[in-house]
Amino acid sequence: MRVLLDTHALLWAAFRKDLLSARARKVVQSPTNEILVSAASAWEIATKYRLGKLPHAQVLVEDFIAKVTSAGYALLSISAEHALRAGRLPADHKDPFDRMLAAQAIHEDLPLVSNDQQLDVFGVRREW
């Protein structure tokens, strides 16, 4: 199964596996699954680190690509199609990172590993 990690799921997989649900942990740790990490997560982590909201994420900010790929995850770039879909998503949900992750999950037909029920407004398939 191919899945996309929400940013918090990526952070928890990296630093606090105990915060992942049993289902999410199983999905992330299964060697048969392809785990994708969005460029939007790199942007979100770097932004929140700069603002002092994620001080523990320094190791990811300093070498995001190497850390993600060494964990066995694949990177998902942001395409123009993703950006357009994110901008056109209905709903009042204003978080640009969530909108992009939802758009990518929908466009790529991927379940999103996330505990964020607010993403359901976009019609994403969530694994948690």
Q: What distance in Å separates the CA atoms of residue 58 and residue 21, rounded to the nearest whole number?
A: 24
The single residue listed with the structure tokens 């909201």 is 53
* φ, ψ of residue 126 in degrees (nearest 5): -105, 140
Question: Can you give the pLDDT of all 128 residues of the chain as single tens digits?
Answer: 999 999 999 999 999 999 999 999 999 999 999 999 999 999 999 999 999 999 999 999 999 999 999 999 999 999 999 999 999 998 888 899 999 999 999 999 999 999 999 999 999 999 99
Q: Domain count of the chain? A: 1
Q: What distance in Å separates the CA atoms of residue 79 and residue 57, rounded to the nearest whole number?
A: 25
Does 127 reside within a domain?
no
Does 97 reside within a domain?
yes
Supply angle C-alpha 74, 78, 82, rounded to 5.
Answer: 120
Does 45 reside within a domain?
yes
Does 10 reside within a domain?
yes
Q: How far is CA 9 from CA 5, 38, 45, 77, in A?
A: 6, 12, 12, 18
Does 128 reside within a domain?
no
pTM, 2 dp:
0.94
Does 38 reside within a domain?
yes
Does 104 reside within a domain?
yes
- Determine the structural domain holding residue 38 and report its residue range: 2-122
Burial pattern 8-41, b for ≥16 Cβ within 10 A else e, equals bbbbbbbeeeeebeeebbebbeeeebebbbbbbb
CATH for 11 = 3.40.50.1010
Contact call for residues 127 and 38 (beta carbons, < 8 A): no
pLDDT at 114: 98
Contact call for residues 10 and 44 (beta carbons, < 8 A): no
